[in-house]
């Protein structure tokens, strides 16, 4: 027995010696690559062990940085402190090591150590903004509030962490009950990043303290638009309503159209089909509840029933209204005459006005459903207006019927800033046309082809049209992007943050032409290491998607501070009660940097978030701009207080990058080159080729 044990022990030791020998035979670069491959194979714990071993064996700087980064990701700031401390001993004058060590100290609540390390750093204009932010966080923890305010004001002069620095500054003023300066700081944070709901909520509360009830109400109303289930916001609105000095409509706005626009008729290529667009739809693209549809045509018109029979005639600029009452629908003329209908009516320009630019104003149309900028405005549309009576949903559904090219003119300006370079607008026009053809009938069960929200493509009709966007549509008329002779899934996001992700990484179906492409100008993804994401997101590299003309830089780089209590409430409401949140741990991160699976740990259980949209919608009061982020915990007296997200991009990050396209067009690329970059496997098809 003893002999057998000794033999087993001998072979175990031999195996360990052999493994160690193999490690020593490999170069540091090979071992770094192996550790990185473990991380990108979704084995972060094994990767962490490999980096720690390499750092101990060789004192390799990158091994230290990667180990500290993964330890922070695994919500182990204490371990990150130990790793960073060892790194600091080995590389006492290295800036990246010092910055990493200081952040680990901050996350662990060791403010004095963090301040000492940060104070050692020499001046570097390119990294000064974030240095000021971290110094302020350390000083706030030490009670040195005046120094903290000074550093946050310095940081707020920058362009990358403007929202974060102003938000933290606002919190300091709020603690001192200086609501005037608090409101100013919170306003700057929320203006820089309109998705920063946490900042907007503090801004609204500070305004209420200052007695500015009208503006406080308006801010809370915007928050309510993005989350109607918030009891806290509902209570604030109820509390403020009796104190308003203006009507709610005056405060919340809403555009009223008093006259029609003179539009140029569009003559599309032969064979162009009509498209039915549901207008004023909910965030999910389904019909909203409407009991009336009030409309004013610009020209003489006829009204047809669902069988195509003319049941009424009207004059130019007459105001008509469809009404649903007690389950029955009718159309009411200006003279009071009623025209009952069961299924639908369609408003069609009279035949004797053909060739003229007809439009129809529809009153009180919802835009931006579910977003902070949601509003109810009058909208103007080309083509025909169909009003569907949905007995099943007990609502009236307004539907705009236009030809494809007219539809696109109302899409481009709604989806992309019209001051973007023309070749970016042309690329968007091709993709919008392709998307519409691919998704015709998406909402057929509701009575229309596509909706007017982000669930399909945002469509604003004539109200959203612009001369430049219309020119982009006309100059690419009929062109589509195809794969194997079929329209591609031409998805796009506002900003990819420097790199797109694959459809598979986003949690969608694997699609051969939706693979990652880089917009960075100076970063080598062939030698990517996990800690590079920290560098890329906290100290932005140059990229085509960093284009900043007529667009906020918050779309390229953003930050978010989420209190543990607020996150706890979000998870409880949208998933389940898991008690106090103890950790946010990315379980899967692709080579593009986007998180595709994340574990939320609590004192009473866990929740796993899969897919980019699920992750974005469950980690803050307002939807996170993207799933391309790193997140760091922040402890005070060993108690988790909040999480800081450092993110890049705006949207799902799959396919076409709108801001990246603008940057490329600004650099001289034409729309065909731009489309080929984002969809290298797709083919641009013209109307002539289709024939």
Residues 394, 536, single domain; the answer is no
Residue 253 lies in a domain: no
Structure tokens at 402: 């236009």
Q: Which of the pair, 525 or 672, is modelled with greater confidence?
A: 672
pLDDT higher than 70, residue 22: no
- 375 and 403: one domain? yes
For 120-147, what is each residue's pLDDT tens digit? 999 899 899 999 999 999 999 999 999 9
Is 33's pLDDT higher than 80? yes
Residue 16 has pLDDT above 80, yes or no: no
Q: Is residue 19 part of a domain?
A: no
User: Looking at 316-325, 593-602, 627-636, which range is the least confident one?
Assistant: 627-636
pLDDT of residue 15: 52
Looking at per-residue confidence, does 371 or 424 come out higher? 424
What pLDDT, on the 0 to 100 scale, is given for residue 353?
62
Residue 4 falls inside a structural domain: no
Q: Which of 228, 232, 365, 381 is closest to 298 using CA atoms?
A: 381
- Domain membership of residue 27 (yes or no) is no
Give residue-wise pLDDT tens across range 214-255: 999 999 999 998 887 788 999 999 999 999 999 988 888 788
Residue 304 and residue 351 share a domain: yes
The answer on 213 and 293 residing in a single domain is: no
Residues 446 and 505 in one domain: no
In a domain, 6, yes or no: no
Across 178-188, average pLDDT: 98
Q: What is the pLDDT of residue 368?
A: 80
Span 452-466, pLDDT tens digits: 999 999 999 999 999
Taking only the tens place, the pLDDT of each residue in 471-507 is 999 999 999 999 999 999 999 999 999 999 999 999 9
Residue 155 covered by a domain: yes
Pair 317, 456 in one domain: yes
Structure tokens at 254: 């809403």
SS3 684: strand
3-state SS record for 161-187: CHHHHHHHHHHHHHHCCCHHHHHHHHH
What is the three-class DSSP state of 218? helix
Q: Nearest 5°: CA angle at 505, between 504 and 511?
A: 25
Residue 600 and residue 574 in contact, taking contact as beta carbons nearer than 8 Å: no
For the chain, the average pLDDT equals: 93
420 closest CA partner among 100, 647, 661, 69: 661
CA distance 225 to 554: 21
Of the candidates 152, 88, 91, the one whose C-alpha atom is nearest the C-alpha of residue 114 is: 88
92, 198: one domain: yes
Pair (441, 460) in one structural domain: yes
Judge if 364 and 429 occupy the same domain: yes
671 has a pLDDT exceeding 80: yes
| Domain presence at residue 142 | yes
Q: Is the pLDDT of residue 9 over 80?
A: no
pLDDT > 70 in the chain, percent? 96
Read off the pLDDT of residues 338-348 as tens digits, 9 standing for 90 and up.
999 999 999 99
Q: What is the pLDDT of residues 544-581, one digit of tens each?
A: 999 999 888 899 999 999 999 999 999 999 999 999 99
Same domain, 523 and 469: no
Q: Are 381 and 462 in contact (CB under 8 A)?
A: yes
Q: What integer is the mean pLDDT of 302-311? A: 96
Domain identity same for 186 and 323? no
At 239, which CATH number?
1.25.40.10
Cα gap 255→361, rounded to integer Å: 12
Question: Is 2 inside a domain boundary?
Answer: no
Are residue 554 and residue 625 in the same domain, yes or no?
Answer: yes
Number of structural domains found in the chain: 3
* Cα angle value 241/244/248 (rounded, 5°): 75
Q: Which of 467, 487, 507 is the last residue of a domain?
A: 487
**Domain span at 373:** 274-487
- Among residues 465, 487, 509, the one where a domain terminates is 487
């Amino acid at each position: 027995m003893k002999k057998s044990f000794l033999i087993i022990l001998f072979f175990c030791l031999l195996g360990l010696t052999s493994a160690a020998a193999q490690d020593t035979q490999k170069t540091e670069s090979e071992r770094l690559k192996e550790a990185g491959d473990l991380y990108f194979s979704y084995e972060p714990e094994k990767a962490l062990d490999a980096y720690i071993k390499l750092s101990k064996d060789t004192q390799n700087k990158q091994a230290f940085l990667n180990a500290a980064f993964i330890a922070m990701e695994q919500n182990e700031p204490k371990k990150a402190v130990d790793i960073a401390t060892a790194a600091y001993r080995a590389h006492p004058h290295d800036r990246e090591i010092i910055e990493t060590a200081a952040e680990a100290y901050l996350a662990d609540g060791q403010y004095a150590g963090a301040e000492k390390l940060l104070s050692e750093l020499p001046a570097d204009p390119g990294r000064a903004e974030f240095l000021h932010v971290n110094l302020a966080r350390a000083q706030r923890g030490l009670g040195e509030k005046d120094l903290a305010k000074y550093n946050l004001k310095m940081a707020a002069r920058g362009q990358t962490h403007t929202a974060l620095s102003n938000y933290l500054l606002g919190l300091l003023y709020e603690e001192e009950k200086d609501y005037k300066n608090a409101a100013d700081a919170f306003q700057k944070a929320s203006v820089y990043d309109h998705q920063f709901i946490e900042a907007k909520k503090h801004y609204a509360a500070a305004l209420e303290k200052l007695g500015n009830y009208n503006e406080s109400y308006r801010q809370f109303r915007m928050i309510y638009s993005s989350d109607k289930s918030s009891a806290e916001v509902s209570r604030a609105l109820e509390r403020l309503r009796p104190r308003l000095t203006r009507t709610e409509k005056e405060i919340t706005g809403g555009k009223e159209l008093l006259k029609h626009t003179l539009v140029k008729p569009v003559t599309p290529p032969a064979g162009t089909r009509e498209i039915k667009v549901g207008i004023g739809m909910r965030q999910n693209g389904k019909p909203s509840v409407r009991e009336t549809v009030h409309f004013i045509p610009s020209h003489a018109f006829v009204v047809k029933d669902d069988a195509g029979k003319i049941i009424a005639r009207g004059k130019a600029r007459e105001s008509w209204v469809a009404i649903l009452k007690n389950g029955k629908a009718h159309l009411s003329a200006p003279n009071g005459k009623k025209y009952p209908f069961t299924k639908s009516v369609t408003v069609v320009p009279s035949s004797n006005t053909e060739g003229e630019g007809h439009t129809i104003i529809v009153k009180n149309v919802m835009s931006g459903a579910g977003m902070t900028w949601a509003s109810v405005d009058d909208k103007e549309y080309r083509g025909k207006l169909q009003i569907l009576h949905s007995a099943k949903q007990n609502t009236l559904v307004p539907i705009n019927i236009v030809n494809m090219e007219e539809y696109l003119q109302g899409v481009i300006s709604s989806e992309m800033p019209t001051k973007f370079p023309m070749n970016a607008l042309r690329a968007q026009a091709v993709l919008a046309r392709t998307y519409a053809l691919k998704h015709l009938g998406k909402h057929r069960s509701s009575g229309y082809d596509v909706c007017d929200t982000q669930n399909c493509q945002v469509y604003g009709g004539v109200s959203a049209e612009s001369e430049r966007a219309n020119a982009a549509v006309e100059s690419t008329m009929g062109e589509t992007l195809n794969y194997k002779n079929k329209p591609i899934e031409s998805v796009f996001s506002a900003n990819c943050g420097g790199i797109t992700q694959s459809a598979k990484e986003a949690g969608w179906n694997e699609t051969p032409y939706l693979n990652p492409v880089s917009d960075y100008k100076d970063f080598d993804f062939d030698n990517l290491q996990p800690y590079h994401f920290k560098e890329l997101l906290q100290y932005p590299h140059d990229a085509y998607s960093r284009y900043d003309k007529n667009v906020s830089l918050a779309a390229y780089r953003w930050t978010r501070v989420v209190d543990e209590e607020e996150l706890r409430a979000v998870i409880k409401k949208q998933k389940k009660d898991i008690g106090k949140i103890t950790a946010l741990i990315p379980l899967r991160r692709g080579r593009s940097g986007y998180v595709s699976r994340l574990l939320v740990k609590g004192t009473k259980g866990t929740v796993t978030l899969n897919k980019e949209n699920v992750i974005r919608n469950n980690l803050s009061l307002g939807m996170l701009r993207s799933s391309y982020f790193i997140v760091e915990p922040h402890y005070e007296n060993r108690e988790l207080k909040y999480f800081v997200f450092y993110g890049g991009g705006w949207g799902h990050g799959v396919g076409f990058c709108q801001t990246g396209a603008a940057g490329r067009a600004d650099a001289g690329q034409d729309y065909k080159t731009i489309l080929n970059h984002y969809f290298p496997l797709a083919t641009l098809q013209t109307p002539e080729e289709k024939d």
